[in-house]
Amino acid sequence: DAKTTQPNSMESNEEEPVHLPCNHSTISGTDYIHWYRQLPSQGPEYVIHGLTSNVNNRMASLAIAEDRKSSTLILHRATLRDAAVYYCILEETSGSRLTFGEGTQLTVNP
Amino acid sequence: GAGVSQSPSNKVTEKGKDVELRCDPISGHTALYWYRQSLGQGLEFLIYFQGNSAPDKSGLPSDRFSAERTGGSVSTLTIQRTQQEDSAVYLCASSLRTGMNTEAFFGQGTRLTVV
């Protein structure tokens, strides 16, 4: 399975932007980059995904490096409800699963 | 319902007993996944269904674990002769189809405690 590397934890202040990095140097040309988050005591929740171009939705933005070996999830204005573990996942063309790593624990300070 | 439903939400069982965990996916979703999450850990893939078939069972930890899906809808994960190390939250997810460019929807999970 293609591997992703994320920092174990990050902190942000409320109403400030947050940039969550992810390295995926072994990504292949057809792997999609997915981001999920898991709030305490809940199942994971889809955030965003993309292939090559940057993506925006109501929750976040996804910036993908030109060589696709890294990506950044951007929360434009963090709220206390954004405190969660954020997972960066590569969905492989040949695969049938999302392989979750350890993720980044985001703490949002009031 | 609007989302993935799992039951029971909590289950306490004695070591050696069998348990069944149920997952009701979103209507029309052909792909269904089971994961488990031990306390403070990431998600561990168990099995995936496409329709009623399970092309990928590679994550099942032992032959005590089995799963089935009927009518392309409800799935049951069965753990026989439960052990304490089976204690975890078991999560089910469904998506319209497998492969790239799909969004998976997760249930709230079943918290299994083996005493």
B106 closest CB neighbour out of A43, A91, A93: A43
Q: Are A45 and A39 in contact (CB under 8 A)?
A: yes
What pLDDT, on a 0 to 100 scale, did the predictor assign at position B67? Answer: 97
Residues in chain A within 8 Å Cβ distance of B91 = 43-44
Using alpha carbons, select from B79, B112, B110, B107 the residue that is nearest to residue B95: B107
B94: three-class secondary structure by DSSP? strand
The residues, any chain, with a CB within 8 Å of residue A6's CB and separated by 6 or more, are A20, A21, A22, A23, A86, A87, A88, A101, A102, A103, A104
What pLDDT, on a 0 to 100 scale, did the predictor assign at position B101? Answer: 66
What pLDDT, on a 0 to 100 scale, did the predictor assign at position B44? Answer: 92
pLDDT tens digits for range B44-95: 999 999 899 988 888 999 999 999 999 889 999 999 999 999 999 999 999 9
The residues on B that touch A, with CB distances below 8 Å, are: 4, 31, 33, 35, 42-43, 45, 48, 50, 55-56, 59, 91, 93, 98-109
How many residues appear in chain B?
115
In the numeric block, the tokens 């249930």 are attached to B107
Greater model confidence, B10 or A95: B10
| pLDDT band, residue A95 (cuts 50/70/90) | low
